Structures are given as structure tokens and as C-alpha cells.
Structure 1
């Protein structure tokens, strides 16, 4: 693709359209007990080491996951946030190939362009709960969007792990989604890595040492379900090929429920045992 189809934003607010959703007031409609069981808000960041402003957006995303270490002006009344950083590959032509970039993540971003009726791809972009988006360097807008995002009760799944081969990891999830499912939804499982550091030797970030957290290394659909009662148990197994340098101490797992419009309906986090 030609570079003219992409934008690397330096700041300000996105002028692209954002979609509204009929369940935008879902959180406000919950009882007090349901409010206490709400899960975190999912923030998806589309980023690239080949974009000059993506490092700033990554710093903001990481900051929002650590409200106890942040200023009250940013973190006050902010719901828990979980981040998945998808490194796209469409900037790889520009002097630096992002080692975490993947065409699969570019395809996921394109799916949001269609679902949210946007005009183009750009980095850094954040998508909140699969419903709204903004420029990832616009801290005020990101915080505002997170605060207004609907939240849902987290699934109650248990997970067990196996290593069928030294190069593969198998996870079996069993439990309840804690929500009534009518139309079909996908149960997605993402493996992400923290504490990554890259010396950039070319491109727009030449000479910088970039830290990266929440970097998605693998993501698979565990199962699709429909016509499911909130307390009905389900089970699904996901097997992934491990990446070079795999370190369970740096790896986390995120399970989330997503409908056909790519809207997130529930999120659950898991820690990977260091002995796996």
C-alpha cells in the first residue's frame, strides 16, 4: 500500500467519525451488586515503532494501567484499564521493520475502520471496548473515552496449561461467561508481553531506545457461542506457537468476549505461571 493511505498523528483529536452503540448506557443500568462485579475496560492500541508518535501513545496506555502511580488529575474515577498493543506492519517500508509488527494486526485495525465507519488507517489509534476510538496521543480524549465506556461483568473462567511440545503452549478454559448470549459471540484469547526494549537503528525513531508493554504476540478465537444462559458452563482449548524469547514471567493472557460488530462484552485477565 502507498504511504498516502496512512497517517501518523502528532497529536490533537481525531476528526474521524465515531460510532455510537445501543448499549452505551449499559453500565448505568446495572444494579449496585452488578456494579461491584464489573470487569475492566479494554483499550486496544494500534501502534508501530515506525511511527514517530506511537511511543508517546504507548506511554499513555501504560500509564492508564497504573493509576496508583499516576496523578489524581488523570486517574481519578478512572475504571480499571487493560491494554492490548497491536503493532501493525504498514510502516515497515519506512526504514525500520517493527519486530513485533504483524499483518494480522493491520487486518484487525482495518476491521475497526469498517465497523466504526472511519476514513482511513492511522497510528497511534486507540479503540475502547470496540466501540469508540481516538488518537492515542490525546491524553484528555483517551481518559474521557475510557471513563464513558460501558463495562460488563467479567467472565468466571478457570484455565489450565499444558506444553504439548517445547514450542507450543495449550490453554484450556472452563467456566461461565456470566452474561446472557443470544446472537453469536466470539471468545478471544490474546497473549501479550511486557518489558520489551528495542534499540532503533533506522527510520523516524532512529537512535531511540523504545520500551514496549502489552505487546500482543498471539491471539486466537477460542470458541464461538450463541443462545447461552449466564450460568451455563463452557469449555474451550487454545494452542499457540511460542515466539522466540518467550518468557512466562513477562507474559499475560487476556480473554474477552466480542460480538459480530467487534464490541467487547466482557474481559478477564490471567497470569501465566512462571513454571509453565
Structure 2
């Protein structure tokens, strides 16, 4: 069961010129009795075969694959950037993560678009995703996550608690800040003259944060939003992953407090 609460707090700030009202929004979510898989899309605006995968990821909610069933995340890689179009959403961090997962999956190369479900390469994603997600949903979660967000002006406060009953010595917590409702007019490269639309775009990836010997971790961080990011379209993903084999044990998504 996914539980979300919304709390509105206000503090009065007094100055010589008068009184102003400062408000901070706080919301929280916790994972329940269902294992919710992480679905990663490795993509690039410079890749002509990527827009259909981007569009499919964007359509998950309409097809019933909502965040209490699967947590989507689009990570734009940077190895297309020298081939005609530089993807402004791309980061080397995302490329490094894709290469690491390729090693763990014993794959000889990386490619785009690539879907990775709970740390495992997902081929034939059009036909297999729904059944694979349903299978994972039916399993008991090996980890629990609680996520609390606070939002004031251009700052996000993140508090995350994760716990696993096993694999503590080899398990890490990750967090990703994502943004929805993005679009770009592409002026060069393989997708020249197209307007591409994106959802669940990773803006920042935090981790790994190792779980302690007791199988728990408490993580707190404040993040300043880039001036180009739209706070109304943002959220945070948290997931717990085995660093030795790449298996994701549990994931959780929470939109930024409104």
C-alpha cells in the first residue's frame, strides 16, 4: 500500500516593513507490501530509434502502469553527443550507470534505447513489460523505503529511510530527482526537425548510499533546483539496489509537494 500525506506549515516573519507569510509544503510516501520495480530507460535525443521508447515510457500511466506498480525513470546518456546533437538532459553519471549494469548483466556493449527492469535488461519491452511487472508485483518486498519531501521556493529537502532484512552488507540506497512535461525542438543529428517529448527525466542521481550493518540507512539532503527546472513537474525516486548483482529490491516515487 502506498501512503501519501500532505502537510502545510506556515511561519510568520516580522520585519520593519511589515509581516510576510512563508509557507513550506511537506509530503511523504512509504512502500507497502508489494514489490514495485524500477524501470530505467537509457535514451538520447541524438538517437533516431529512441523516440518510440520515450513515447512508450510516457504512456505508462495511461496503460495502467501507475507508480504503485512500476517506477519509471529516463536516464539520458552522453555518448551520442558528438554525433550531431548534444542532449542537454544527458550526464556522464547516467552513462557510467548503464555501463555498470551492462557488466552485471554480462552484456558486451551498451545501446539506446535500452530498458532495464529491476537491474535486468528487458528485451522485447513492448510485449514483455506488463507481464514482468505483474510477476514482480506479486512478490513480497525484500526492502522498505520511506520518503519525505519538503518544498520551499527553489529548494527541496529530502529525507529517506531504507531497510532490508537481508543483503545489508551489499545494498545501497539511491535517489533520483526527475522532471516531467519536457519537450525539445531538435535542430541537428538523427532527429533533426522533430519535436521530442519526455517524461520522468532524471535531473540528478544521488548515491550509492550504503546501508549499515543493521540493514538500515537514514539519509537527509537539501537540493537547490536549477532555474530551468519546473518545480510543478518534478518529483523524487528512491530505490534500494544490490551492488553485487544490480538487482533492485524496492522502489518508490513521490511527486514534489504541491
What SS is found at the alignment partner of 1:191? strand
Q: 1:108 to 1:241 in 2, by over 3 A?
A: farther
Tell me, in whole angstroms, the C-alpha distance in 2 between the residues paired with 1:118 and 1:63: 28
Q: 1:111: Cα distance to partner?
A: 0.4
Q: 1:127: Cα distance to partner?
A: 0.5
Match of 1:213 in 2: 199
Kindly report the root-mean-square deviation, in angstroms, between the aligned alpha carbons of the 2 structures.
2.5
Match of 1:203 in 2: 189
Are 1:162 and 1:171, in contact at CA under 8 Å, matched by a contact in 2?
Answer: no
Q: 1:249: Cα distance to partner?
A: 1.3
Tell me, in whole angstroms, the C-alpha distance in 1 between the residues paired with 2:113 and 2:58: 14
Tell me, in whole angstroms, the C-alpha distance in 2 between the residues paired with 1:105 and 1:215: 11
Aligned length: 222
More strand by share: 2
Match of 1:98 in 2: 87
Tell me, in whole angstroms, the C-alpha distance in 2 between the residues paired with 1:198 and 1:214: 15
Match of 1:140 in 2: 127
- The reply to whether residue 236 of structure 1 matches residue 219 of structure 2 is yes
Alignment of 1:42-121 (within 5 A): 42-68=38-64, 80-121=69-110
Are 1:217 and 1:243, in contact at CA under 8 Å, matched by a contact in 2?
Answer: no
In structure 2, the gaps of 5 or more residues are 1-31
TM-score by length of 2: 0.76
What SS is found at the alignment partner of 1:49? coil
Return the match for 1:268 from 246, 252, 255.
252
Q: 1:178: Cα distance to partner?
A: 5.8
Q: 1:110 to 1:238 in 2, by over 3 A?
A: same
Tell me, in whole angstroms, the C-alpha distance in 1 between the residues paired with 2:252 and 2:43: 23
- The reply to whether residue 183 of structure 1 matches residue 169 of structure 2 is yes
Are 1:50 and 1:97, in contact at CA under 8 Å, matched by a contact in 2?
Answer: yes
- Residue by residue over 1:182-238, the C-alpha shift from the partner in whole angstroms, topping out at 9 and shown as x without a partner, is 333111111110000101111111111110000000010273114335xx6x42113
Tell me, in whole angstroms, the C-alpha distance in 2 between the residues paired with 1:266 and 1:186: 11
Q: 1:183 to 1:48 in 2, by over 3 A?
A: same
Tell me, in whole angstroms, the C-alpha distance in 2 between the residues paired with 1:148 and 1:160: 30
What SS is found at the alignment partner of 1:202? coil
Match of 1:41 in 2: 37
Tell me, in whole angstroms, the C-alpha distance in 1 between the residues paired with 2:219 and 2:208: 6
Q: 1:148: Cα distance to partner?
A: 4.2
Q: 1:131: Cα distance to partner?
A: 2.4
Are 2:44 and 2:76, in contact at CA under 8 Å, matched by a contact in 1?
Answer: yes
